[in-house]
Amino acid sequence: MCTLPEPRRLPGDVAMWLFILAELTVFAILILAFAVTQRLQPEVFALGRAQLDTSTGLAMTYSLLSAGALAALAVQQVRLGRARRGSVLLLGAWLVALVYVWIKLTEYRHLIDAGLGLERSTFFTLYWIVTGFHFLHVLLGLVILAWLGWRCWQRQYLAPRLSGLESGVLYWHMVDLVWVVLFALVYVIR
């Protein structure tokens, strides 16, 4: 007797995956524009990057990735029928992600106070555009996590109808994926 392999399942809604691909394409263009300009003006970028604190970038990375892990754990708990536990994990993800927002806003304020605004140099023009665009996505992700947490608490997501929850959490993972590349490119690569 043979057993058929389990069909490969795509978590979430296909529309969310298409949206994620579209978002990733936009980010790819911005990231490659940053890399091309860095190639053309290496001194300007080295000077600009020296103004950024790598440990701050690392702290933001930890915040975003930890929030992603908590959100993924929340999905698992809801699948097991533990909606309230999932809701608490989503609240945890939301709070941990808030740390990123606080650090990023502190960094932005510090840069503005130091006169390192959008028009300071090509590096900072691209820095503000790329990280600002990503920051807006984090803010939207926070709204989504809060909404998912509230819906979980109300036991609105019951297995196997978890497409909405999975799609919302996938959006957060997309934000994480982009940040992994941004962190390397903007803060670390010398």
Partner 1 sequence: MNSSVRLWLCWAGLMVLSLGTVWSGAAGVVVLLAMVKGWVIVDGFMELRHGPWKWRVAMLGWGLVVLAGIVGLSA
Binding residues for partner 1 (CB under 8 A): 6, 8-11, 17, 21, 24, 28, 31-32, 35-36, 38-39, 54-55, 57-58, 61-62, 65-66, 68-69, 72-73, 76, 170, 173, 176-177, 180-181, 183-185, 188-190
Least Å from the CB of residue 147 to partner 1 = 19
| Contact (Cβ atoms closer than 8 angstroms) between residue 67 and residue 97 | yes
| Contact (Cβ atoms closer than 8 angstroms) between residue 90 and residue 145 | yes
| Contact (Cβ atoms closer than 8 angstroms) between residue 90 and residue 152 | yes
Rounded Cα distance between 174 and 17, Å, is: 10
Least Å from the CB of residue 117 to partner 1 = 25
- Residue type, position 47, single letter: L
User: Between vectors from CA 166 to CA 163 and to CA 172, what angle results, nearest 5°?
Assistant: 145
Question: Is the CB of 29 or the CB of 143 nearer to partner 1?
Answer: 29
Least Å from the CB of residue 172 to partner 1 = 9
Q: How many CB atoms lie within 10 A of CB 45?
A: 24
Least Å from the CB of residue 106 to partner 1 = 19
Report the residue count for the chain. Answer: 190
Rounded Cα distance between 89 and 51, Å, is: 36
Question: Is the CB of 128 or the CB of 172 nearer to partner 1?
Answer: 172
Tell me the CA distances in angstroms from 68 to 53, 65, 179, 183, one per residue in order.
23, 5, 12, 16
Least Å from the CB of residue 159 to partner 1 = 14
Question: Is the CB of 35 or the CB of 139 nearer to partner 1?
Answer: 35
Question: Is the CB of 32 or the CB of 112 nearer to partner 1?
Answer: 32
Question: Is the CB of 53 or the CB of 114 nearer to partner 1?
Answer: 53
